[in-house]
Amino acid sequence: MMRPISSSQSVMTDAQGLIVPKKLVNPVLESIDRQNLHREMMFNQKIGKSVLNQKSELQRALEKQKERQVLAAQNLAKQTEQTIASELGRVIMQRAQRLEQQKGGSGTGATDPTGGSINPEYLNARAKLRATVDTK
């Protein structure tokens, strides 16, 4: 006769004394590599990254165009920064030269407060205005 299997060995029996089959362990699901891969795929899906590169040609072309536009905007911003900096430097140098000329010119007795940059049309208009005021 057979000895009854005790339940201490973690074998389950039903009411008739038959052994209840255990669910088999799936080695694929238990694999550490598979779990890591699944975790990475879920993360990529969450952030919206397509790992399999299954984008249509139109989507790829639109992305490339957007990247080009962003790069062009960045290059334009850099160029405008550089031109502004160079123009600012040029203006500063011109003002420094004018100040030097005024300092150097003041010792010679020439006291032109405008630095000789009066518009001749302005002088003609002023002369005409004085002539009309003087005649009255």
Query: Do residues 42 and 59 both lie within one domain?
Result: no
Exposure string of 69-106, with b = 16+ CB inside 10 Å and e = fewer, is eeeeeeeeeeeeeeeeeeeeeeeeeeeeeeeeeeeeee
Q: What amino acid is encoded at 98 in this protein?
A: R
Whether residue 76 is predicted with pLDDT greater than 50 in this model: the reply is yes
Inter-residue contact 19 to 13 (CB < 8 Å):
yes
Query: Do residues 50 and 71 both lie within one domain?
Result: no
pTM above 0.85, yes or no: no
Query: Do residues 75 and 65 both lie within one domain?
Result: yes
Query: Do residues 44 and 75 both lie within one domain?
Result: no
Per the prediction, the chain carries an average pLDDT of: 82
Q: What is the pLDDT of residues 83-121, one digit of tens each?
A: 888 888 888 889 989 999 988 876 554 445 555 677 888
